[in-house]
Amino acid sequence: MAFLTCAFLTYLLIAPRVAADVSSNRRVLIRDITSVEGIRDNMLVGYGLVVGLNRTGDTQQTYFTVQTLANAMQKMGVLISPTQVEVKNVAAVFVTAWLPPFARPGSRLDVTVSSVGDAKSLVGGVLLMSSLHGPDGQVYAEAQGPLIMGGYTAGNGLNGKEVNSVTVGSIPNGGIVERDTSVDLHDFKTVSLLLRNPDFTTAKQIADVVNLEFQKTVASAVDSGRVDVNVAETDAPSIPVLISRVQNLSLSVFTPAKIVINERTGTIVLGGDVKLTPVSVIHGNLSIEVVTSYSAAPVPSVYAPTTIESSRGREAGGPASDGPGSRGSTAGAQNSAGREGREGRAGGESAAGAGNEALIPQTTLNVNDQPTQTMRLDEGANVDELVNGLHAIGTTARDVVAILQAIKAEGGLQAELEVQ
């Protein structure tokens, strides 16, 4: 709860300043809010082996690592049995990379290497040549090289420390493109702009800005997420020149009224255009705390009284005699019984103090009922007023989440509420 409160207080310090500076709309470039259809990255994935580990690789139970190593050795002309292979210095990995648009053979790629088996660490390993495949199953790149790790381990067992992940590494420029995947822009009859955040108003504004730039109707909004530009109508010398000219146009984009809440971290993000209808918020805290503590108390021994009673019984029921010798024997018996009684009593008390103890529970109940806090929001209240009001009544991040959900359910929040 302390972390949630700190996160919310940090937002309280920043939100009023941001809300005051952000107007209802902002100027952006078309390149920042759209992408061109057909020009995109492609995902590549491959499988390979990392060697040179310091006995931190896969174990013998990872059979596919043993089989892969045996197959690799066979390609090198060495025939070995998988049952005779030690793979402590070898680890099976998946290799992933992004193939950018217009990539040509010989271009370099950054690759990421991730452990597949039960390897403890990939630190110090070298990736053997691995083929990277595309969604169609074709090989588009090859990867190889020493790994760069973003974490490390020190020590072992209970005295060890691990920082970040040691089973995922990267190889900068470790991949080489082998197949041409560049897009031929000369075949484009229409340049389609795809909005990253679909919105009908924004799509119409993009079309209007492009038409104003070319002084005629060359662009049209197809739907909330796509705007088509007719290449032939623009009289542009080339497709790259047309795309560059369109992407550098600016327009005003309206911020959607939306509130995003992350209940796990206590993060609350509110848009500047969020409006509220008249609403009253009554906030109060009732906390009940039950604490149980245990204290040790000695338990009386059952052996000391028994010893004393037996000694007293011997004193009362001993043989009687009138002679001096008898009196001496009786006195000696009484003294002996008295010493035994005292020794038994002392021994019983020592045993009780040493080990006979019990834990006695003590329960304490604390009830803290704080006074109810009330906040009133008038018509057209904005985020700044909401945040200041919630801060004034002493709410925490978790309280704010519950209050916003209640306001949304009541209909007083004129924005989309997204809870993650």
pLDDT for the residue 384:
63
Regions in the chain scoring below 50 on pLDDT:
1-23, 286, 288, 303-338, 340-341, 343-344, 346-354
264 & 407 share domain: yes
Residue 277 pLDDT: 72
Same domain for 219 and 209? yes
Q: Are residues 171 and 106 in the same domain?
A: yes
Q: What is the dihedral of CA 404, 405, 406, 412, to 10 degrees?
A: 60
CA distance 49 to 56: 13
Domain count, the chain: 4
Whether 205 is covered by a domain: the verdict is: yes
* Cα 27 to Cα 36: distance, rounded to the nearest angstrom: 20
Verify that 193 and 241 share a domain, yes or no.
Answer: yes
Edge-first strand listing for the sheet containing 219-223: 34-36, 190-195, 226-230, 219-223
Q: Does 332 fall in a domain?
A: no
Q: Any idea what the Cα angle at residue 170 is, between residues 169 and 174, rounded to 5°?
A: 145
Looking at the structure, do residues 172 and 230 belong to the same domain, yes or no?
Answer: no
**Is 51 in the same domain as 130?**
yes
Q: Under 8 Å CB-to-CB from 32, ≥6 apart: which residues?
A: none
pLDDT tens per residue across span 134-155: 999 999 999 999 999 887 777 6
327 lies in some domain: no
Q: Quote the CA–CA distance of 410 and 407 in Å, as a whole number.
A: 5
**167 and 58 housed in the same domain:** yes
What span, in angstroms and rounded, lies between the C-alpha atoms of 218 and 379? 43
Q: Is residue 200 part of a domain?
A: yes
Cα(235)–Cα(92) distance, integer angstroms: 55
- How many Å apart are CA 137 and CA 201, to the nearest integer? 41
Range of the structural domain that residue 250 is part of: 25-38+184-254
Question: Phi and psi at residue 110, in whole multiples of 5°?
Answer: -90, 135
Question: Per the domain annotation, does 341 fall within a domain?
Answer: yes
Decide if 33 is inside a domain: yes
Q: What's the predicted TM-score (pTM) here?
A: 0.61
Q: Are residues 249 and 269 in the same domain?
A: no
Clarify whether residues 74 and 19 are in a common domain. no
- As a dihedral over the C-alpha atoms of residue 416, residue 387, residue 20, residue 197, rounded to 10 degrees, the angle is -20
Q: What is the pLDDT of residue 61?
A: 81
Please state the three-class secondary structure of 45-112 as a single string. Answer: EEEEEEECCCCCCCCCCCHHHHHHHHHHHHHCCCCCCHHHCCCCCEEEEEEEEEECCCCCCCCEEEEE
Q: What residues pair up with 292 in beta bridges, in sequence order?
A: 363
Q: Is residue 321 assigned to a domain?
A: no
Contact partners, residue 156, CB within 8 Å, separation at least 6 = none
Least Cα distance to 123 among 185, 167, 86 occurs for 167
Dihedral sign (CA 110, 247, 244, 188): positive
Look at residue 197 and give its three-state secondary structure: coil
71 and 170 fall within a common domain: yes
φ and ψ at residue 240, rounded to 5 degrees: -60, -40
Spatial separation of the C-alpha atoms in residues 176 and 170, rounded to whole Å: 14
Phi, psi for residue 340 in degrees, rounded to 5: -65, -40
Residue 382 to residues 38, 84, 85, 306, 408, Cα–Cα distance (Å): 41, 72, 69, 83, 14
Do 94 and 232 have their domain in common?
Answer: no
For residue 326, being part of any structural domain is answered with no
Q: Rounded to the nearest 5 degrees, what angle is found at the Cα of 205, between the Cα atoms of 202 and 209?
A: 140
pLDDT tens, residue by residue, 283-329: 665 454 556 566 777 766 554 444 444 444 444 444 444 444 444 44
CA proximity to 263, closest of 398, 94, 173, 132: 398
Q: How far, in Å, CA of 397 to CA of 7, rounded? A: 8
Q: How far apart are the C-alpha atoms of 4 and 263, rounded to whole Å? A: 9
Assigned token pair, 371: 């006074």
Quick one: tokens of 375? 């906040």
Regarding whether 249 and 102 lie in a shared domain, the answer is: no
